[in-house]
Amino acid sequence: MAAAGRKSGREKPARGASRGNGGEAAKQPQRRHSVQSVARAFDVINVLKDASGPMSALEISRATGLDRTVVHRLLRSICEEGMAVEERGTFRLGPEPVLLAHRYLDNLLVRRLALPYLVDLQTNVVGDLPNTVSLSIPVRDVVTVIERIWTPTAPLGVVLDVGDTVAIDRTAAGRALLPYYPVTEVEELLGDERFAAVAETLEEVRAADGIGIAHGEVHRGVDGVAAAIRSRRSQPIAAIVVSGPDLGDEVAYDSALAGHLRRAADAVGQSIP
C-alpha cells in the first residue's frame, strides 16, 4: 500500500536469514524495472531496519543473498549518507531515516485531519479509562502507529509508541483495512496459510463497515477496536484505534465505541480525495 513498550509485533526473520522466499534471487522477478544498485541498497537498509541489534557485513550478506564484497561497498555509501552507522565492525540503522520519517509524517494529510478527532475521542469517549487512542497506517505487510493519545491512567506497558509495527493481520487496525484491498494483494501480503486463517474475519469486518477488533493477539489482556479511514474513492488510508485492558463489551462490531470510531473515521475520510 499498528504494540507496546517499543516492542514490535511483526514477525521478523532471524538474523542471517533472508526475508521473503530466499534472498536476492527471489526478488528479481519483481525488479525488472528497478535500478539494481538502489534496490540492493534498500535490501541492506531493510535488513538493518528489522534487526534486533547491530549486524556484521557477513550477517547482512546472508540475510540479503548479496555477495559480501557488494555488501561492503553498499555499506560504505549507506554510512556516508547517514542511513547506517558502523560500530566496531558491525552496522546498525543510522539517524538519517528519522528525518525522512518526520518529514513524511508532517506532510501526511490523514494525520493532520485525524488529530482533532483523536483528541475528541480521548476526551469525550475514553475519558479517564486506561485506554489509548491511536492512528495507524498500513506499510506493506504491517501497520505502524503514527499518532497516539493516552490518559495518565493507561499502563505505560500498553501505550503505543509512534513507529511501533504489528503484522497487518494480527491487529484491529490491519483487520479494519485489509477488506478494502484487492483480494489478490491480501493473498500476496499474507501468504496462503495466514490468508486462510483471517479470511472469515475479513468478511465480518466488511459486513461491519470496516470495524476491526482484536482480542489480545498482540499483547495478552489488551483488546482493540478500530475503524478504517477510507478516502472518497474508498481507498483504505489509515485506521483509528482504541485499545486497552478494560474495553469489555465494547470489543464488538456493533458496540457504542465502534459507532464512535466509525463516525470519526468517516468524517476524516470525506476530506481525503
- Spans of all domains in the chain: 23-100, 108-269
Backbone angles phi, psi at 173, to 5 degrees: -60, -50
Q: What pLDDT, on the 0 to 100 scale, is given for residue 239?
A: 98
The C-alpha cell that represents 263 in the structure block: 463516525
Q: Which fold has domain 23-100?
A: Arc Repressor Mutant, subunit A (1.10.10)
Q: Which fold has domain 108-269?
A: Beta-Lactamase (3.30.450)
230: buried, middle or exposed (CB in 10 Å: 19+, 13-18, 0-12)?
Answer: buried
Q: What pLDDT, on the 0 to 100 scale, is given for residue 111?
A: 95
The C-alpha cell that represents 85 in the structure block: 552507522
Q: What pLDDT, on the 0 to 100 scale, is given for residue 33?
A: 64
The C-alpha cell that represents 195 in the structure block: 490468508
Q: What pLDDT, on the 0 to 100 scale, is given for residue 260?
A: 98
88: buried, middle or exposed (CB in 10 Å: 19+, 13-18, 0-12)?
Answer: exposed
Task: Report the candidate in 172, 169, 170 with the shortest Cα–Cα distance to residue 185.
Answer: 169
Q: What pLDDT, on the 0 to 100 scale, is given for residue 217?
A: 78
Q: Judge contact between 151 and 126, C-beta under 8 A.
A: yes
Question: CB-based contacts of 124: which residues, under 8 Å, 6+ apart?
Answer: none
Per-residue pLDDT of the chain (273 residues), as tens digits, is 433 333 333 333 333 333 333 344 334 445 556 788 899 999 999 999 889 899 999 999 999 999 999 999 999 999 999 999 999 999 999 999 888 887 887 788 999 999 999 999 999 999 988 999 999 999 999 999 999 998 888 777 777 788 888 999 999 999 999 999 999 999 999 999 999 999 999 999 999 999 999 988 777 788 999 999 999 999 999 999 999 987 889 999 999 999 999 999 999 999 999
CA–CA separation, 238 and 172 (whole Å) = 12
The C-alpha cell that represents 31 in the structure block: 525488479
Q: Judge contact between 238 and 197, C-beta under 8 A.
A: no
